Structure 1
Amino acid sequence: MDWLTRMNRAMDYIEMNLTGEIELAEVAHRACCSSHQFQRMFSFITNVTLAEYIRRRRLTLAALELQNSDVKVIDIALKYGYESPVSFARAFQVLHGVTPAMARQVGTPLKAYPRLSFLITIKGAEAMNYRIEIKGDFQVFGIERVFNSNGDGETPAQFWQQSHANGEVERLAVHAGDLPSFVSQDFYKVHAICSYRKTEVDTFPYMLCALKSESSKTDGYCTVTIPAQTWAIFPSEPFTWDKFDDTIETLYRRFYSEWLPTAGYEQVEGMEFEFYGGRAGLSYVELWFAVRKI
């Protein structure tokens, strides 16, 4: 089953359950990936979170029902997952700019968000640099947190900010020791790894990490063995640090929307590295995705 088929099967499931409970684990199962991996792919490809897409679709259908039936507002609210007419009215007005009662008036302008379908499109001839490498097992160590896949609570970006502020990143860099020989010696000492072990449904592990070598000091840190993998590696062009967010977001988006659907590979449990480095006064980043042939 190819990538497009799997993604569209997931969208079919969402569409069939807009008036009921949508199990994110089932969405991900139909796409043959983890819940966290699916939500990341979805948001990078569509520029909207999965939760927001579902909310928009439900409120689109609710607006159509308000215009074309005499069903009570409270019944429509309950049908599309809202516990009260007040919460439904608030969400409805945020999306449509009018109240549910006003939506029933002829001529009231409303918004419609159609069902998404995934397909391959021609986007141009811009080259995408990558390489495929097979690495044996190695170890990383560092500071770990587990985050919610839906974005509720603390985020990895906040984790980085806190760890810089309290000195944990700098201490980890000191304890990192020498870089192992299998990676670029232009890399910095502290990086990030995601989805390297199983956690509860709709959560994912994330670690600010260093690569373990003979000179590393790992006492007090979480240590993880990364098994032998095939890695699809995507390097950025050199950039100034103020361009970091745009650069890494572009790499992720192009991986998910351009490379992965057509390359004949799939991700392994969503495992990925962000390696950071620099040379000649500029920074660069490499994204490493654990993959296997389909």
Structure 2
Amino acid sequence: MHAWEAIQKSVDYIENHLTEDIPIDKLAETASLSPFYFQRLFSRLVKKPVCEYIKLRKLAQAADDLKTKNTRIIDTAVNYGFSSHASFTRAFKEVYGITPDEYRTSDVHLNQFVKPELILNYVMVDENVPLVTDGIVLEVTRRQLAIPRIFIGIEKEIPIKELMGGTETSISYAAKLWNEFHEIKPKIPHLIEHGNEFGALYIGNAKEGYCTYMAGAEVEYGTSAEGYSTFELPAAEYIVCGFEAESFEELTNSAVYKAQTFMERWMKKHKLAATDFAGEMYYPTEGCAYLEHWVRSVTTD
């Protein structure tokens, strides 16, 4: 068994026992390692000490319960091993910058520390070969765009650290922007019926530590709309990483981070680097949700 496979077994065990006490000795036993070596290897591969990782995953699941289950905050706290309402609130605010009560009564979305799929760091596939892992399917292709496409929407500056989706915890400014966009989308003229929505990410005039993010939808080529932002997807060759998940929530949370992780490694392996922007192409689907990462690339030495 490879080292990453041993740690993945412990990661999977944690995910299945988040409402229980999880002793280090049990996790080390699951990974067939000594407690000392297990903790060192876990921190190296997961990028978090095991106890901190467990806390972050408990809080992530607790946050989901706060929005989806009609239970008291104290019951949620106790269910995930917190001794009191106060200790849960303190930990929640420390991680997300917002209290559980504020979160439950708002439409805020959170960036979570995602359960890692370590296989994405060690297994490589060729173009046009799907990779299946933990309920998601990823596939990298090259796509030639012969005619530019135009997207109109709204843009804002977001912290660059939010691009570290899956490894940073905070309020999601990108999700908030999408909520605002969907409120005004019906007012945008010249929308293509059943067209794609598109998230464009670029530096633009953003201040240090931030980047520009535009949430938009496709319009007829050559049109514009006063008062909105416009992004042109140029005619060019793109590296496209398509991936699907069982639900839109899964797609835009853990799946998008896992796809990003694999895409970055795939491009590095093929001596490619992204150029001036990256895009997220959303598809209207029934059943499984589907999304594509689009990047223009250059060859590196």
Scaled to the shorter chain, the TM-score interval is 0.3 to 0.5
TM-score by structure 1 length? 0.47
Which of structures 1 and 2 has the bigger CA Rg? 1
Which of the pair is proportionally richer in strand? 2
TM-score by structure 2 length? 0.46
